[in-house]
Structures are given as structure tokens and as C-alpha cells.
Structure 1
Amino acid sequence: MGLLSIIKKQKLKDRECRCLVLGLDNSGKSTVVDWILATYKNRPRQSITPTVGFQIHTVPFRGHSVQLWDVGGQSTLRPYWDNYFDKTDVLLWVVDAAAIARLEESMGELTTILRNRDRLGYNCRIVVLLNKKDLAAELPTVLERLQRDLVREWRLENVPIEVRASNALDGEGLATLLPLVVWGREEPVEGQPPAAT
């Protein structure tokens, strides 16, 4: 293989992003993925059923190829989550904001994953998505508590965690999710391709 082939392969690799979508069962992971597919692949919205195992979807976004790994969140599947960690650029952790009773369980699972950072990778960015914000009566309280707990737990570990609220049914709060996944912020960095898809 010549040097030119190696350079071309590396450029393609640099434009790929692997996003692992995890969270407890019924948090809305597949609904978030479905909104992304409907928005960026012009596909009609689908009827959502619980994910058994995993599903992989590839979405073109501003010159990048984003792989979304939607993995089931049932308690029987959680022991297998770490099989999906390799080469993950972004962990999208989805929380059901309306299920306050499960917030502790959700944060416990996320903490277990983050304690295993060498397996997940130290360059992996973390985005916590409080989904179903339209159903959460105490959303500001939950958001504040979640941010406070995450900062307290992980500030010494230097783990950058972005927390945001969304409603995956109508897409509220998701418009800037893919830029955040690809670039680590809502706008491209200098030298990135223009906004046209």
C-alpha cells in the first residue's frame, strides 16, 4: 500500500464519527435515533419498539459519516454494553427526564461506565440527554441536580460532560445534537466544511 493510499484512508477515517447511544430501557434512545434519521436522511418517522441487542445506522452530516450504535437498555443487556465501547468517539447517554424514580439507577449505570474509562477511551466525549422534557414536571430541578451530581462526581477526573434537555418526539433540543457529536460543540471548528449537507 502506497503512502497516498494511507493518507486517503486516514482522511476518510478523520471524517468518521462513532456515537454509542446508551441509557436505561424506555429512556427514548431509539426515538432520538429515529428523529436523527428522519431529519438527516429524509426518512419518514418509524414506529418505535424496544431495541433488543443493537442497531447500527450511518448518517451523512456535513461531509462526515456518523455511525449511531443504538444499544438496548434492558437490565439483561447491560452486562454486554462494554462490548460496544471500542473506537467510540461520543457516548450519548439518554435519560428519561419524566421517570424521576429511575434517575438514581441511570446515573449509577453511567458512573459504572465512566469508572471504566480505559475501556471506553479517554478521548470519548460524553453527552447526557435528558429526554421527554415535555413530560417532566420538575425538569429544571432534575437538570440542575444532574449537572451538580455529574460535576461533583467527575470534575477531578477531567471528564467533559455536556448535559442538555430534549423531546425526541418533536425534535426539540436535538437540532444541535449532531454538530455536538461531530465537533464537540454546536458549530464547526475553523477549517471544517460548510454547513451544506
Structure 2
Amino acid sequence: MKYLSNGPPPPRPEYDVVCIGLTGAGKTSLLSRLCSEGSDGIVPTTGFSIKAVPFPNAILNVKELGGADNIKKYWSRYYQGSQGVVFVLDSASSDEDLEAARNELHSALQHPQLCTLPFLILANHQDKPAARTPNQVKKYFELEPLARGKRWILEGSTTDNMEAVKESFGQFISLLEDKDTEPARI
């Protein structure tokens, strides 16, 4: 009879992902909570930050890019090497901000370095009264025609329900692991 060794478990796969979205969408808060860091005193990211976010079956090295207007124009400089994209939007934002987020997501979905990658789109701040549902976001952002043939997930999120956020990231990791599916390009 053979026994398994008691050595260290095999290393978890690591994926490099970029996290984008407008200022105030909640990128930093969600990532901090996923890393079990406190969410007190969180300030908008200026430039970028990198966090290794551990999950049971993988580690995501997340490069979070600040969402301010003076930073967005440099986002594409940080796309190289990314294996996936997390796009966070404030589902309770003004129509004007939602339109800006829509434009940024459309640009990302069509960017040559990102267009074949899996996307996790989080409609954040679902706990706010003005929040639009994921279905409303999908319709408003015209995701069905734009993202046809791509691998993407759209989920609602809030820092009040981190279990649901972890489930969304679990689905995203499945897309990252599924390298055999080559999506159609738009």
C-alpha cells in the first residue's frame, strides 16, 4: 500500500490580472477585503498598486489602476502581461459617471492587449438604494452584442457580502484556468 507524502501542497497557480474602473467604484475596498485587510482609511489609488489576492485554488496578482481622469490615459501602459481583467463600476453612480464607466469598459473590451482575455465585471455598491441591478447594467452597457464570443462574467457586488464577491472571483478563476477556449475577436 502506498502512502501520500506529507510534503507541502503543490503550489497554487498564479494569474496576473489588471483591475480598472473609475474613481469611487470600490476597487481598493473590494481588494482590501479580499486580502482580509481592514477597510478603514481607504483612499483612492493614485497611480497603481499591486496585491497578491489568495484564493483556495489560485493566487491573483492584481494590478489595480487608479481611476482618476489624469491616470486613466496611462492605463494601457499597464496591460501587458495581463491574463484577465477585473472591471469595477459603481452601480449607484450618476448617469454621467455610468456613461463614463461604460465608455471605459467598451475601450477595455476592444483593446488589443485585453480583447481576448476573460473579464470579471463587478456592478459594485449593490447595497445602495440607487444601485442598478446587474441586468440593468448589462442592458445599459450593451454587453451582449459587445462581448459576444468573449469570456466574461457580470455580477453584483458589495463589501457587505464578501462571500458573493469570492464566488464571483471563483468563477473568474475558472475562466482564467480555461485556456483552451479561444474566444472570437470582435
By the TM > 0.5 criterion, same fold? yes
Equivalent of residue 55 in structure 1, options 49, 61, 65 = 49
- Counterparts of 1:59 and 1:175 in 2: how far apart (Å)? 11
Q: Where does residue 110 of structure 2 map in the other structure?
A: 115
What RMSD, in angstroms, separates the aligned Cα atoms of the two structures?
2.4
Once the two structures are TM-superposed, the CA of residue 121 in structure 1 deviates from its matched residue by 5.3
Task: Report the counterpart of residue 35 of structure 2 in structure 1.
Answer: 37
Which residue of the partner structure matches residue 23 of structure 1? Answer: 21
Name the CA distance, whole Å, in 2 between partners of 1:127 and 1:60.
17
**Separation (CA, whole Å) in 1 of partners of 2:166 and 2:56:** 14
Alpha-carbon separation, structure 2, partners of 1:36 and 1:67: 12
CA distance in 2, matches of 1:17, 1:65: 6
Q: What displacement does 1:68 show? A: 1.2
- Structure 1 ranges of 4+ moved more than 4 A: none
Match of 1:130, as an amino acid? A
Task: Indicate which of 99, 103, 106 corresponds to 2:98.
Answer: 103
Q: 1 or 2, which has the higher helix percentage? A: 1
Q: Per-residue deviation at 1:166?
A: 0.8
Q: Indicate conservation of the 8 Å contact 2:118/2:152, yes or no.
A: yes
Match of 1:164 in 2: 155
Q: Is the 8 A contact 1:35 1:169 kept in 2?
A: no
SS of 1:88's equivalent in the other structure is coil
Post-superposition CA distance 1:1-52 (Å, at most 9, x none): xxxxxxxxxx97x8111121100111111011111111xxxx4444210100
- Candidates 101, 125, 128, aligned match of 2:118: 125
Decide which of 124, 136, 143 is 1:145's aligned counterpart: 136
What does residue 78 of structure 2 align with? 84
Q: Which of these residues, 171, 175, 178, is aligned with residue 180 of structure 1?
A: 171
Equivalent residue for 2:88? 94
Q: Residues 183 and 172 of structure 1: is their aligned pair in 2 closer, same or farther, counting only changes over 3 Å? A: closer
The answer to whether the 8 A contact 1:18-1:66 is kept is yes
TM-score (normalizing by structure 1): 0.75
Question: Normalised by the size of structure 2, how large is the TM-score?
Answer: 0.79
Indicate conservation of the 8 Å contact 1:19/1:181, yes or no: no
Q: Percent identity, aligned pairs only?
A: 22
